[in-house]
Chain A
Amino acid sequence: MQETYSAIGKSVPKIDGRVKVTGQAKYTADLKFPNMLVGKILTSPHAHAKILNIDTRAAERLPGVKAVITHKDVPDRKYGISPARFDENIFCIDKVRFVGDKVAAVAAMDEETVYQALKLIKVDYEILPAVFDPIEALAEGAPQIHEPYPRNVNTEIHQKFGDVEGAFSKAHHLRTDRFVGQRTYQCPIEPHAAISMWAGDKLTVYASTQSPHYFQYYLAREFDLPMGNVRVIKPFVGGGFGGKLEPTGLEFAGAALARITGRPVKMFYDRHEMFAHNRGRHRQIMEITTGVDREGKILGVHANFIMDGGAYTSLGIASAYYAGALLTLTYDFKNYKFDMLRVYTNLPACGAQRGHGAPQPKYAFESQLNLIAKDLGLDPIEIRLRNARKPNTITPNDFKVNSCELIACLEKARQISGWSEKKGKLPQGRGLGIAVGSFVSGAGYPIYRTNLPHSAALIKVFEDGSAATLYTGAADIGQGSDTILCQMAAEAMGFNYEKMKVVSGDTETSTHDFGAYASRQTLMSGAAVKEAGEMVKKKLLEMAGEMMKVDPTELDCKDGIIFLGNNPIITQMTFAEAAREYFVRNGPLAGRGAYTPPKLGGAFKGAAVGTSPAYSFAVQISEVEVDRETGEVNVKEVWDVHDCGTVINPSLLHAQVHGALYMGMGESVWEEVVFDPDGKILNPNLSDYRLPTALDMPQITSALVDSYESAGPWGVKEVGEGATIPTMGCYANAINDAAGVQISSLPLSYEKVWRALREKEEKP
Chain B
Amino acid sequence: MDHIEDKDGFKRYLIHLTVNGDPHTLVVKANTILTNVLREQLDLTGTKKGCEMGNCGSCTVLLDGRPIDSCLLLAVEADGCAITTIEGVAQCDELDRLQDSFVNNAAVQCGYCSPGMILSAKALLSKNPNPTEEEVRMAIAGNLCRCTGYVNIVKAVLTAAQSSEIRE
Contact = CB atoms under 8 A, between A and B. Distances in A.
A691 B148 contact: no
A33 to B, nearest CB: 13
A236 interface: yes
Interface string A646-679: 0000011011001101110100000000000000
A17 B102 contact: yes
A544 B145 CA distance: 49
Given A189-B50, A190-B112, A694-B154, A658 B149 contact: yes
Nearest to B151: A658
B103 A685 contact: no
A23 B87 contact: yes
Nearest to B112: A238
Given A189-B58, A659-B148, A697-B151, A17 B45 contact: no
A655 B149 CA distance: 8
B95 A22 contact: yes
B110 A190 contact: yes
B13 interface: no
Interface stretch (A199-207, A475-483, A610-618): A475-483
B141 A694 contact: yes
B53 A685 contact: yes
B154 A188 contact: no
B43 A23 contact: no
A21 B99 contact: yes
B103 A13 contact: yes
Contacts of B132: none
A69 to B, nearest CB: 25
A479 B109 contact: yes
A21 B118 contact: yes
B47 to A, nearest CB: 7
A11 interface: yes
Given A189-B145, A271-B52, A697-B149, A23 B112 contact: no
Contacts of A663: 146
A663 B151 CA distance: 13
A190 B50 contact: yes
A389 B115 CA distance: 44
A32 B44 CA distance: 12
B115 A23 contact: yes
Contact of A477 (B103, B110, B151): B110
Interface residues of A, number: 53
Given A20-B111, A700-B151, A14 B47 contact: no
A659 B103 contact: no
B151 A239 contact: no
B113 interface: yes
A22 B48 contact: no
Contact of B111 (A25, A29, A652, A665): A25
Interface string B133-145: 0001110111111
B154 A14 contact: no
Interface size grouping (class) on chain B: 35 or more
B140 A271 contact: no
Given A30-B39, A270-B52, A652 B106 contact: yes
A26 B87 CA distance: 13
B51 A271 contact: yes
A687 B53 contact: yes
Contact of B108 (A21, A29, A477, A695): A21
B87 A14 contact: no
Nearest to A16: B111
Interface string A1-22: 0000000000101101110111
A433 interface: no
Contacts of B108: 14, 16-17, 20-21
A20 B109 CA distance: 9
Given A190-B50, A686-B56, A23 B45 contact: yes
A237 interface: yes
A651 B118 CA distance: 20
B55 interface: yes
B117 to A, nearest CB: 9
A697 B150 contact: yes
B85 to A, nearest CB: 7
B111 A238 contact: yes
Contacts of B50: 189-191, 238, 271, 686
Nearest to A274: B51
A764 to B, nearest CB: 39
A27 interface: yes
A252 interface: no
A239 B109 CA distance: 8
A35 interface: no
Contacts of B110: 188-190, 236-239, 477-478
Contacts of B18: none
A575 B8 CA distance: 68
A451 interface: no
B62 interface: no
A412 to B, nearest CB: 19
A186 B112 CA distance: 15
A241 interface: yes
Interface string B45-74: 111111111011010000000000000000
A693 interface: yes
B147 interface: yes
A392 interface: no
Nearest to B88: A23
B152 interface: yes
B102 A21 contact: yes
A655 B106 contact: yes
A478 B53 contact: no
Interface in A371-422: none
Nearest to A688: B55
A555 interface: no
B112 A694 contact: no
B106 A651 contact: yes
B86 to A, nearest CB: 4
Nearest to B101: A21
Contacts of B48: 27, 189-190, 238
Given A11-B106, A271-B52, A691-B144, 11 more contacts: A13-B103, A23-B47, A187-B146, A190-B48, A238-B111, A477-B110, A479-B109, A659-B148, A685-B53, A691-B146, A694-B137
Q: Which 7 A-B pairs have the closest CB atoms?
A: A23-B46, A478-B110, A238-B112, A20-B111, A662-B149, A17-B103, A30-B45
